[in-house]
Amino acid sequence: MDCIFCKLAEMKDQYIAETRHLFAVWDKYPCAKGHAMIIPKKHRLNMFEMTKAEAAELPEILEKVKKVIEEKYKDDKPKGYNIGSNNGEAAGQVVMHLHIHVIPRYKGGHGIQVLGEGEPKE
């Protein structure tokens, strides 16, 4: 398998936080300062393939990532966060290995604005 996130899982020097089954890194193409990603160490296509053990660690690693971000940006701490992932091509997933974005938001942010654009309405 030629998966960029599987390769990244082996680069522990890039980790900003870690649990037994998950790791976090800075996003290579951040949409805000402090944008990080949480990724399972084992290949999982999307959130629906996560094991119970992996899913159970999400609150722990989210807290660790938040702490790292807030320590790094202590002079301008985030006022909020967007946390989410795209699951499947139709949802906008580009890298087919689960990754959960942790996007800090600062003053006057508008969060995620475009949801479901182009979807049929029932």
Query: Active-site residues: which are they?
Result: 99
Query: DSSP secondary-structure letter at 120?
Result: P
Q: Is residue 101 classed as helix, strand or coil in its secondary structure?
A: strand
Question: Measured between alpha carbons, how far is 62 from 18 in angstroms, rounded to an integer?
Answer: 10
CA 47 to chain centroid, in Å, comes to 11
Question: Measured between alpha carbons, how far is 45 from 55 in angstroms, rounded to an integer?
Answer: 14
